[in-house]
Each structure stands twice: as C-alpha cells, then as structure tokens.
Amino acid sequence: MTPALTREEAARLIVEGAGVGLVLLDSRLRVRAWNAWIARASGLGTRAVVGRPIAEVAPAFFEGHEPDLEEVAGTGGYRFLSALLHSELLPLREPDGSYLVHDVLLSPVEGRGPRRWVLLTVRSVAEHVRAYRDLERLFTQVAEGKRVWESTFDAVGELVWVVDPAGTVLRANRAVARKIGRGFPEIVHRPCGEVFGRADCQACLSGLPDGESRLVGCPCLGPEYRFSVYPVGDGNRVCVAVDLSPIRRAWAQAARAEKTFSLVRLVAGAAHELNNPLSAIAGAAEVALLHCEDPGLRRKLEIVNEQAHRAAEILRRLQEFARLRSGGKVPVDLAGVCTRVLSGLTVPEGVRVVRDCPPGGLPRVRGQADRLESLLAALLDNALRAVGERGEVRIHGRHDPEADQVEVRVEDTGPGFPHEVLPHVFDPFFTTREVGQGAGLGLSECQGIVADHGGTIEAANRPEGGARVTVRLPVSGSGPGDLIPLVGTHDRILAGLPTSH
C-alpha cells in the first residue's frame, strides 16, 4: 500500500512537475524554491540558488522590477510582466538552445510577519509570439495582395464594376469614373441605374447569362460596347464593358490604307508606261515651237509643253511615293533643319512667322536631313497658303521626355480643315485646291516621310481657329525606326495613319 504523502511532499511534487517555472521568494526576496522547469531553462540547479537573494541570482530582473516585487511583498496584489526577453530575467533557453521569450506573474503568498512571500510564475510565450508573427505576416501578405489587386483593377482600361444582387455598385475602376465623369463617392453604394443615368439596369444585368460574353446594345453605354457579366459568389456580379470603337476605327483605317495602297500601286505602275508618251509629246511640242511663227499656235504649243512637263512631274512624284526608300539614316538636328527651311521661305508682307523652340535646342532624331527639310517645307508651305496675305504661322518644337520623342507643331490662323475633309487629308490625290493648283500628294508624302522615320503625324483644328499639324519623331537611338526600318508604301500608310482627329 502506497504511504500517504504529507501536504509538504504533495506540494513539492506539484511544484516540480509543473509545466511552468516556479520561483518562491520569502519576505526578504530570497529564493526559497526553484523548480525543475526553471532550473532546466536557466541551467542553474536548485542548490546553486536557494537561499540567495534574487538580486544576485537575476540582477537585471531585480533592477528592472524591484518596485513590483516590493509592492507585492509589502501590500499584496498581483503584477503581470508581459513578454520579457531572456536578459530581463535569466538567460532562459528553449530545448533547442534558442532564447526563450516569457512572461512572469508575481503573486503574493501569505507568510509570517507583515511582509508576504512572492511566487514568480514563469511561462514560455514563444508559441504565442510565433503564432502572432505568422498572423502578422499573413495580414501583410493579404494587405499587399489587396493593394496589388486594387492597382490592377484600376489600371484596366475597360470599364469594370461589381454589383450586388439588387444592382447596387459595390466597386468600380477608374475607367468607369472617367467614362461617367464622377468621383468614386458618387458611384459606390449607389444603384447601377443611377450611376449610369438609367432608371433600371436589371434589364441589362438579367438579359445576359452569367459568364457569357456577347455583344449587346446596353442602353447605358451605347452600341459601341461589348457588355459581359460574370458571377463572383453571394449573388454578386462583375460587369465588364469593352469599348469597340477604337478597334472599329483601326479596321476602317486599315481598310482605307489597303485601298489607298492598291490605288497608289496601280497609278505608279501606269506612270512608268505614261512617261514615254509624255516625253514624246513634250519633245514634239518643243520641236514645233522652234519652227512655228503663228502667235496663236505658239501659245497653244506652249500650253501643251507646260502641261506635259507638269504631268511628268506628277508621275515622278507618284513613283517617288511608291518607291522603297532604303537610304541611310544619321542623327539630324531638327532645329538646324527648321532654320534652313525658314531661311528659304518667301513670306508675304502681312504674314508673321513665329519660331518657338526651347533655348537649349532639341535632341537629335535619326533620319535623312533632306527628306526632313522637304517635310517641314511642305507643312510650312501649306500653312502659308492657308493664311493668304495676312495672318500668323507658328512652328513649335519641344522634347517629350516620357515618350522620348521630338514633337514639331505647325499652326496657322487660316480657316482650318473643314470637318468633312479632316479624315481624308492624308489620302493620296485628295486636295481641296482648285484644278491645276495641286495633285493631292503633299500631306501623303509628308505622312510617308514621317512613317519612314518611325514617327506619327496628325492633323487637327485649333480651338481658337486655324489648323495644326503635329509631327512626332523618336529621339535618335530610341525609336523603332532605328531597329526595324519601315519600307514600302503599304507599311508607311499603315504606320503613319493618324490615331485621332
């Protein structure tokens, strides 16, 4: 039969078997008990510490928490010291040798005399700290994922918004805000119909099966949008609207370019065959002029000769327009090109020509100086013709560091482009001048020159009146034209199509 344990022995067994560290201090703060857990974690055996003041056993802990110890010993009460580092009590270690993070509870124990004994309960909180740190890392990852998702959501160019089962907008991206011209507070948590200016949007939302993309005529956005709805759980739906007008414009531009290319190829082929007859006509007219003495007949022969030479010049320009250009490109100073072109202009007395370029000049572009001179000369000639005898022509140059392009604008105070003419100004053979005043190749040739240099050209009307033609060319060494040169009429037409009017 197992002998009964005394109360003291039972207490000792409980203390030694506890899964926490227990340190008992008497009223004078001397160590009276030091259990196995604290002995194992500190590396100090019970005999080495019992009877010694805690100030000697754990001087750092005593210095930092002497007031707490004195208060518990003197007046009672409890003190909880949270998440102490190893150096604040003892160099306690985990079984794997790593330093142990712990907390300490100071509890009063009734003793003899006015002062109480103090029980220190030391508990490892390493698992709690690790769990907290894991949770903190998880929160950080979730926050970063949310930030990336929101940035991606806002960066999408299509209109994207989320609605609940009742049709209330829960979230919308920046494209939606730009489209309807409202801020997010006026969009979020409002009915979809109110946001897009329609009484009831349920017809659009319920008229398309979830997850199916189909071109529908959404009354809120118009027929130019492809409208799709996708389920995302809890009855919520993601609505996506894609503007198809840029694609349709690109298709129309490509079709127009293809027709233009076919026309140019046909005429350029015919030009070669027409050169010989025109040369014969001009030669015959010149020979006849040498022997003709009739003034009336001479005048007619002169007209025949002039028109034959004019037709030959038009054919030469057609062949030039359709010919592959493979000349070498070198860094060109556009400011110097502009200076040379302006010095050769004949400007009417009532016309003011203004040059506006940055004081430090412009970065060099990679190209052919003679063709760039022809480009600027043609644009300035058009502007001077537009203003007539009185007005202003301005040529403005600047460097766009973000696009790494040089931009040149030629503006005038003339009547501008008629609205119906603007989409066709770069078409070959299209001209608004009177018969005999132009073949309609000027801006088409300009477009070809710009495209050969890897740039773009656009024509528009100025809000204050007059026309504006904008040419953008890549800085030397930065543009696609330096790497893969565009060749041929078809490539030049496609590359040089204006993106907007």
At residue 100, φ and ψ (nearest 5 deg) are -100, 130
- Across 317-341, average pLDDT: 73
Whole-number Å distance between alpha carbons of 367 and 448: 13
* 89, pLDDT greater than 60: no
* 410, pLDDT greater than 90: yes
* 207, pLDDT greater than 80: no
Pick the range with the lowest mean pLDDT from 175-179, 185-189, 395-399, 497-501.
Answer: 497-501
Residues with Cβ within 8 Å of 129's Cβ and at least 6 positions away in sequence, in order, are: 83, 101
CA atoms within 13 A on the CB side of 126: 13
The secondary structure of 149-217 as a DSSP string is HHHHHHH-SSEEEEE-TT-BEEEE-HHHHHHHT--GGGTTTSBHHHHHT-S--HHHHHSS-TT-EE---
Structure tokens at 130: 């690790």
The answer to whether the CB of 311 falls within 8 A of the CB of 271 is no
CATH architecture of the region 156-243: 2-Layer Sandwich (3.30)
* 326, pLDDT greater than 50: no
Whole-number Å distance between alpha carbons of 222 and 468: 31
Neighbours of 223 (CB within 10 A): 12
The gap from C-alpha 84 to its chain's centroid, in whole angstroms, comes to 48
Between residues 24 and 259, the one the model is more confident about = 24
At residue 399, φ and ψ (nearest 5 deg) are -105, 125
The answer to whether the CB of 81 falls within 8 A of the CB of 104 is yes
Between residues 32 and 95, the one the model is more confident about = 32
In one-letter notation, the amino acid at residue 75 is T
What is the model's pLDDT at position 478?
55
Query: 38-78 pLDDT, tens per residue?
Result: 888 888 888 888 899 988 888 878 878 888 888 888 877 88
pTM, two decimals, is 0.42
The gap from C-alpha 150 to its chain's centroid, in whole angstroms, comes to 14
Structure tokens at 62: 């005593």
Neighbours of 130 (CB within 10 A): 11
What is the model's pLDDT at position 391?
92
* 297, pLDDT greater than 90: no
Cα 179 to Cα 204, 223, 225, 227, 490: the distances in Å are: 18, 15, 12, 15, 35
- When computed from its CA atoms, the radius of gyration of the chain, rounded to whole angstroms, is 44
What is the model's pLDDT at position 115?
78
Q: What percent of the chain has pLDDT over 70?
A: 75
Whole-number Å distance between alpha carbons of 137 and 131: 10
Neighbours of 11 (CB within 10 A): 12
Parse the chain into domains and list their residue ranges.
7-124, 128-155, 156-243, 247-322, 330-496
Neighbours of 283 (CB within 10 A): 12
Residue 475: helix, strand or coil by DSSP? strand
CB burial readout 135-160, b (16+ within 10 A) else e = eeeeeeeeeeeeeeeeeebeeeeebb
Which has the closest alpha carbon to 426: 392, 395, 456, 466?
456
Query: 153-200 pLDDT, tens per residue?
Result: 888 888 888 888 888 888 888 888 888 888 888 888 888 878 877 656
Neighbours of 301 (CB within 10 A): 19
Whole-number Å distance between alpha carbons of 409 and 227: 39
Which has the closest alpha carbon to 237: 259, 271, 207, 260?
207
* Cross-strand partners of 122: 21, 104
**Class of domain 247-322 as given by CATH:** mainly alpha
Residues with Cβ within 8 Å of 417's Cβ and at least 6 positions away in sequence, in order, are: 425, 459, 460, 461, 467
The gap from C-alpha 8 to its chain's centroid, in whole angstroms, comes to 77
Between residues 360 and 478, the one the model is more confident about = 360
Residues with Cβ within 8 Å of 488's Cβ and at least 6 positions away in sequence, in order, are: 324
**CATH number, domain 7-124, options 3.40.50.720, 3.30.70.20, 3.40.718.10, 3.30.450.20:** 3.30.450.20
What is the model's pLDDT at position 435?
42
Which has the closest alpha carbon to 73: 103, 111, 21?
111
* Cross-strand partners of 391: 351
In the predicted model, what is the mean pLDDT of the chain? 77
What is the model's pLDDT at position 260?
64
If pLDDT is split at 50, 70 and 90, which confidence band does 271 have? low
- Topology alike, domains 7-124 and 156-243: yes
- Check residue 265 and report its DSSP letter: H
* Domain over 330-496 is classified CATH 3.30.70.3190: no
Residue 104: helix, strand or coil by DSSP? strand
In one-letter notation, the amino acid at residue 356 is D
Cα 200 to Cα 191, 236, 310, 410: the distances in Å are: 9, 17, 66, 49
* 113, pLDDT greater than 90: no
Residues with Cβ within 8 Å of 451's Cβ and at least 6 positions away in sequence, in order, are: 457, 486, 491, 492, 493, 494, 495, 496
* Cross-strand partners of 423: none
If pLDDT is split at 50, 70 and 90, which confidence band does 322 have? low
What is the model's pLDDT at position 246?
77
